[in-house]
Amino acid sequence: MNKYLNELISKIKSGEFELIETTLSNKEIDSETIQTTYGFVVKSKNPQCAFCGAEGTLQLENDKWICEACAMAMGERSEG
């Protein structure tokens, strides 16, 4: 198992991600080889900032999220 799959499983177990769907497909490469592909659709319970990776608290128009600090730095949110 690679490190990305381990990280995904860890985040699902911790409750950070919600598992939406899994897929499994097999493709015959040649008479002796079958390629197995696993797919996972997950939903982050705490969306990440599209710019720095911190927890996103403000939703942008394109369904991406941004954190307060990046919003302030980009002038998307006025102080006060």
Q: Give residue-wise pLDDT tens across range 54-63.
A: 888 888 887 7
pLDDT tops 60 at residue 78: no
pLDDT tops 70 at residue 77: no
The b-or-e profile of 16-43 (16+ CB within 10 A means b, else e) is ebeeeeeeeeeeeeeeeeeeeeeeeeee
Average pLDDT over residues 11-38: 89
Tell me the backbone φ, ψ of residue 17, rounded to 5 degrees. -115, 150
pLDDT tops 80 at residue 24: yes
Residue 16 has what pLDDT? 76
Please tell me the pTM assigned to this model: 0.46
- Which stretch, 20-29, 37-46, 54-63, has highest mean pLDDT? 20-29
